[in-house]
Amino acid sequence: WQKREISNFDYLMYLNTLAGRSYNDYMQYPVFPWVLADYHSETLNLSNPHTFRDLSKPMGAQTVERKRKFIQRYNEVEKSEGDLSAQCHYCTHYSSAIIVASYLVRMEPFSQTFCSLQGGSFDVADRMFHSVKSTWESASRDNMSDVRELIPEFFYLPEFLTNANHFELGCMQDGTVLGDVQLPPWADGDPHKFIVLHRQVSE
């Protein structure tokens, strides 16, 4: 990998395999990092450092304010003389069966898996994976219970971004009917272009 004889994708898959992660286990599914931080521009400026996610920090520390809040929550357990075994920065995981199934919910058998994990039906529309931009904002900035990373499919499988099975995923509070995943402007509404650019950036 250091000699550039294998791709970053192959290297990350190798690390996942060494860690015991596999496509056969939703709870130990391969994990890939967010590599971009720009999901709002018309074109990607790859010469701008702010285009990229800070890979030196976990998702819970992508902004100064977010990092401060997690440290504050960690310290509050000790101050309140609570159970120190419950002391943690993040109360949720960067990967889980429900995260994997939510990303892939528009494809079988993941749609059935997602419904079974949700008690037999799709989740409330506003909580469903519907936009790459809003998912990044939730995981990197807005939601203290969301520090999720990505899955390998974000780098090679455009089909998971389209609702080709015409599942009725519900309607959000703002009236938006869920269908295909909303892509960043720089993808021009094309899942194939999104995957190609995302893969290029990751390399």
Residue 150, both tokens: 């990505």
Residue length of the chain: 203
Q: What is the pLDDT of residues 162-178, one digit of tens each?
A: 999 999 999 999 988 99
Of 91, 122, 105, 144, the residue nearest 26 (C-alpha) = 105
CB burial of 162-198 (b: ≥16 within 10 Å; e: otherwise) equals ebeeebebbebeeeeebeebbbbebbeeebeebbebb
Q: Return the sign of the alpha-carbon dihedral for residues 27, 166, 34, 142.
A: negative
Q: Express as a percent the part of the chain with pLDDT over 70.
A: 96
Q: What is the pLDDT of residues 5-34, one digit of tens each?
A: 999 999 999 999 999 999 999 999 999 999
pLDDT at 90 over 90: no
d(CA 86, CA 84): 5
Annotation: CATH topology of 8-60+93-201: Neurobeachin; Chain: A, domain 1 (1.10.1540)
Mean pLDDT rounded to a whole number for the chain: 93
Domain ranges in the chain?
Answer: 8-60+93-201
Q: Is 14 helix (H, G, I), strand (E, B) or coil?
A: helix
Burial tier of 72 (Cβ tally within 10 Å: 0-12, 13-18, 19+): exposed
Distances (CA, A) of 72 to 47, 87, 145: 35, 11, 15
The predicted model scores a pTM of 0.92
